[in-house]
Amino acid sequence: VSDYIPYGTNWLPYSIRRLRERKRNILLLGSSFIQSHKV
């Protein structure tokens, strides 16, 4: 298993483009964020 972490000056546009390519990733990111911030 390996993780790819974007870096450099264009990391944000790249990350947004990749999220748009796979809509399921947006749901995964959202649910992960919600679970990590439960009180």
Listed by start position, the domains of the chain span: 7-39
Return the pLDDT at 13: 92
Supply the pTM of this predicted model: 0.53
Q: What is the full DSSP assignment across 1-39?
A: -------STTHHHHHHHHHHH-HHHHHHHHHHHHHHT--
Return the pLDDT at 39: 62
Q: What tens-digit pLDDT sequence spans the chain (39 residues)?
A: 778 888 899 999 988 888 888 888 888 888 888 988 776
Return the pLDDT at 19: 83
Return the pLDDT at 10: 92
